[in-house]
Amino acid sequence: MTERQIRLFGDPVLKTPSDPIGEIDDRVRGLVEDLLDSVRPPGRAGVAASQIGVNLRAFSYNIDGDIGYVLNPVLVETRGEAELVDEGCLSVPGLWYPTPRYPFARVTGINLDGEPIEVSGTGVLAQALQHETDHLNGMLYLDRLGKEHRRAAMKEVRESSWF
């Protein structure tokens, strides 16, 4: 398929909770191809379907060359104490802010054959699993920022050339 354009902050699809995927058909298979193509460029850890304008529960990830996807992902476990980690987002280009994330995360879902799958990990993978699941719930990382950082981030968004 093709790498899709990333939707930017302000697009309503980014604040809309995504619908579960029912039947796995050619449309869903094409979505997965687009998600995988869209996460391959350097510097991308994950892409949620909502970020490419599709309101379905699916995301792709690319961590240290390990590329995959999850359909109907559910964040089923986090472990450890939430830590502030520098986080950015393709939908909010150029901004990085300390965001509370757990050091371990586990997501369950299905693959294109409808079989159960699980993705879990620490570090950047844990951060990506939490970040992408948030997207599918209509939440951006900016929503998790503390009051002062959120105020600064919103000022930076308003002053950005892309907004």
Q: 132 an active-site residue?
A: yes
Q: Are 67 and 36 in contact, with CB atoms under 8 Å apart? A: yes
* Distant-in-sequence, close-in-space partners of 34: CB < 8 Å, separation ≥ 6: 1, 2, 3, 4, 52
Helix/strand/coil for 13: helix
Q: Are 150 and 100 in contact, with CB atoms under 8 Å apart? A: no
Q: Which of 5, 131, 145, 6 is nearest to 73 (CA)?
A: 131
Q: Which entry of 115, 132, 148, 159 is annotated as an active-site residue?
A: 132
Q: Residues with catalytic annotation?
A: 132
